[in-house]
């Protein structure tokens, strides 16, 4: 039974695209077939993070409008055979996505893959609502700061009202993925603590991804962090999160990079 | 109830609903005007100074016919302040605004006003009939968290939320508001002019609280009450706060 997962947040820059790529790759590495779909029409990024920007011929808009077949637009990942990408168009805008067209593409994807992961654009407009519309479950990406938490709360409200599942009165599973978390700063009160965020949003926690240089390096390499540097702290957090998505019970920890005491002190100064 | 505090610098803002006579002409209009003129002959000053809303739902008039109807009423000194049930295309510049969502309201006690003009028995049938105040006032129970950006509006009575009210969420109630969870958003109670409405919450972290138009923002609330179960009520136009623990 295929599952449609939307990665969303409301706020921009919190790590939706990074998380989509990392979770997609982590699920694919475990043997599941996965398609990551970029819904950020006009500001596409997922192809860059996946390292597929030179291989995009057809995109989501082409398939939605019937100009290309789905099989022509799917880009298979070179590193992981179970992972495919459906890129967004950079030249069009979100109005080119028709509700019926998106529904048809999602149905086709359901027949081919175990997981369809939709990378939502920021905001609460058409692109974001279409990305979440067909989802069976949602990963709400949140940074430990107040504006991100409030926007996530808004998005959870939309997930509970604007999705097909919600309209049918069915359950919509929502998980919190806390990204760019820095335990030492949270301890000093410079960031919200995990419990504060959970108390406000009151949805189950999928994982805590620590702030790490490995994420930026992986993005610039064009590789999901779970493939580029699977031993890094964020990659371990994403790999555990992927296991939880598959229903495997893994205790939640905040993975840390092993550093010398000097390195830890030095790193903190620089940050 | 040790911690009671007073409001400073209150500014009043409120939504207010007014009573208007609703006039619903019937077809054929010619016959209706005969009846209407007859009514006016018996009490010529009945419509003077009164707010009148024209209900044309059953008439299906085009723009010209509607304008003609309003003009004929104007000639009879009836000032139409709004039109209900007209097609959007029939209204426009120079026409009264469209009105909708009107409710038949409980008229508390119109006798005084009516008696002074001694026209009580000539009240037209189209005016909203005074209803008896129901023995129990309606209430709304929300059994989930109210998320940022959501707005629960219930002018009819009390609202009870089982769950949290997030920062950026809003509860607007004609009666009291009960929140069994952290209250981080805004609550406006007694908005229909009910100073006896109260606000109760499990954990006070609200952005704004208001009863009957008198409000207080988070900045003005006593810090000692934050995070505690609290009730809020109105006493002599002052918001009173008391911890419940």
Q: How many helices (H) and strands (E) does chain A have?
A: 14, 8
Closest CA to A235 of A257, A252, A250: A257
> Does A258 or A102 have the greater pLDDT score?
A102
> pLDDT value at position A112?
96
Average pLDDT over residues A37-56: 92
pLDDT tens for each residue of chain B, 245 residues long? 455 555 556 666 666 667 777 788 887 888 888 888 888 887 777 777 777 888 887 777 788 888 888 888 888 878 888 888 777 777 777 778 777 766 655 444 334 444 444 444 444 445 455 555 555 678 999 999 999 989 999 999 999 999 999 999 999 999 999 999 999 999 999 999 999 999 999 999 999 999 999 999 998 899 999 999 999 999 999 999 999 98
* CA distance to partner chain A, nearest, from residue B132 (Å): 37
The answer to whether residue B128 neighbours chain A at the CB level (below 8 Å) is no
Task: Note the pTM of the prediction, 2 decimals.
Answer: 0.68
Query: What chain A residue is nearest to B205 in terms of C-alpha separation?
Result: A200
CA–CA gap between residue A181 and residue A253 (Å, rounded)? 12
> pLDDT value at position A32?
95
For chain A, the straight-line distance linking the first and the last C-alpha, in angstroms and rounded, comes to: 44
- Which of A188-202, A239-253, B76-90 bottoms out in mean pLDDT, i.e. has the lowest? B76-90
Q: Are B184 and A151 in contact (CB < 8 Å)?
A: no
Closest CA to B103 of B22, B168, B27: B22
Q: What is the DSSP string of B70-124?
A: HHHHHHTT--EEEEES--GGG--TTSPPEE----------THHHHHHHT-GGG--
Q: What is the dihedral of CA A151, A156, A158, A163, to 10 degrees?
A: 140
Distances (CA, A) of A5 to A115, A140, A146, A206, B36: 7, 10, 25, 13, 65
> pLDDT value at position A259?
56
* Closest in A146, A157, A199 to B147, CB measured: A157
Q: Which of B:193-232 have CB within 8 Å of A? A: none
Q: Are B166 and A199 in contact (CB < 8 Å)?
A: no
User: Are residues A47 and A38 in contact, defined by beta-carbon separation less than 8 angstroms?
Assistant: yes
Question: Is B171 in a helix, a strand, or coil?
Answer: strand
Q: Which residues of A touch B147 (CB under 8 A)?
A: 153-154, 156-157, 160
> Does A196 or B124 have the greater pLDDT score?
A196
Which residues have C-beta within 8 Å of that of residue B241, sequence separation ≥ 6? B3, B4, B5, B221, B222, B225, B230, B231, B232
The answer to whether residue B145 neighbours chain A at the CB level (below 8 Å) is yes
Estimate the crossing angle of helix A99-112 against helix A126-133, to 10 degrees. 40
Average pLDDT over residues A149-169: 94
Closest CA to A64 of A136, A138, A130: A130
Q: Are A150 and B167 in contact (CB < 8 Å)?
A: yes
Taking phi first (over 0 means left), then psi (-120 to 50 degrees means alpha), and beta for anything else, what does residue A270 get? Answer: alpha
The answer to whether residue B164 neighbours chain A at the CB level (below 8 Å) is yes
CA–CA gap between residue B161 and residue B148 (Å, rounded)? 14
Q: How much is the mean pLDDT over chain A? A: 91
Domains of chain B, earliest start first: 21-122 (3.30.70), 139-243 (2.160.20.70)
Report the CATH fold assignment for A3-270. Rossmann fold (3.40.50)
Closest CA to B172 of B187, B184, B185, B157: B187
Question: Is B233 in a helix, a strand, or coil?
Answer: strand
Which residues have C-beta within 8 Å of that of residue A132, sequence separation ≥ 6? A6, A8, A118, A120, A138, A155, A158, A159, A162, A163
């Amino acid at each position: 039974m295929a599952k449609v997962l939307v990665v969303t947040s409301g706020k921009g820059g919190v790590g939706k695209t990074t998380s989509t790529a990392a979770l997609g790759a982590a699920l694919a590495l475990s043997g599941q077939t996965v398609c990551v779909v970029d819904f950020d029409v006009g500001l596409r990024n997922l192809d860059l993070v996946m390292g597929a920007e030179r291989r995009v011929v057809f995109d989501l808009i082409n398939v939605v409008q019937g100009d290309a077949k789905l099989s022509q637009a799917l880009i298979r990942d070179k590193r992981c055979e179970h992972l495919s990408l459906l890129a967004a168009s950079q030249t069009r805008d979100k109005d080119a996505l028709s509700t019926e067209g998106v529904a048809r593409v999602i149905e086709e994807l359901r027949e081919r893959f175990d997981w369809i992961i939709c990378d939502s654009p920021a905001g609460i407009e058409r692109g974001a609502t279409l990305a979440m519309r067909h989802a069976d479950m949602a990963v709400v990406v949140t940074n430990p700061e107040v504006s991100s938490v409030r926007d996530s709360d808004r998005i959870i409200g939309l997930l509970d009202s604007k999705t097909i599942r919600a309209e049918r009165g069915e359950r919509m599973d929502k998980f919190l993925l806390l990204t760019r978390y820095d335990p030492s700063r949270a301890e000093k009160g410079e960031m919200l603590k995990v419990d504060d965020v959970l108390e406000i949003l009151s949805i189950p926690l999928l994982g805590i991804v620590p702030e790490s240089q490995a994420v930026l390096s992986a993005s610039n390499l064009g590789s999901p962090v779970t493939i580029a540097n699977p031993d890094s702290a964020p990659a371990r957090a994403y790999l555990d999160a992927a296991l939880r998505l598959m229903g495997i019970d893994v205790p939640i920890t905040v993975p840390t990079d092993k550093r010398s005491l000097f390195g830890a002190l030095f790193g903190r100064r620089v940050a | 109830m040790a911690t009671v505090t007073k409001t400073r610098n209150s500014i009043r803002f409120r939504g207010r609903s007014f009573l208007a006579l609703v006039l619903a002409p019937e077809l054929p209009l010619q016959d209706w005007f005969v009846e209407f003129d007859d009514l006016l002959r018996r009490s010529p000053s009945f419509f003077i100074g009164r707010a009148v809303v024209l209900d044309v739902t059953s008439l299906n008039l085009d723009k010209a016919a509607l304008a003609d109807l309003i003009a004929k009423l104007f000639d009879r000194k009836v000032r139409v302040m709004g039109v209900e049930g007209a097609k959007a295309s029939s209204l426009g510049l120079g026409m009264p605004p469209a009105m909708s969502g009107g409710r038949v309201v409980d008229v508390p006690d119109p006798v005084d006003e009516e008696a002074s003009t001694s026209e009580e028995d000539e009240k037209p049938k189209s005016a909203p009939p005074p209803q008896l105040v129901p023995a129990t006032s309606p209430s709304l129970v929300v059994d989930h968290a109210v998320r940022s950006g959501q707005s629960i509006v219930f002018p009819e009575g009390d609202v009870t939320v089982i769950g949290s009210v997030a920062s950026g969420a809003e509860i607007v109630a004609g009666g009291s508001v009960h929140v069994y969870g952290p209250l981080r958003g805004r609550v406006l109670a007694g908005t229909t002019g009910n100073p006896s409405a109260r606000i109760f919450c499990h954990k006070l972290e609200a952005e704004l609280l208001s009863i009957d138009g008198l409000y207080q923002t988070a900045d003005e609330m006593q810090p000692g009450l934050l995070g505690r179960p609290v009730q809020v009520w109105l006493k002599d136009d002052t918001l009173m706060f008391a911890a419940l623990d």
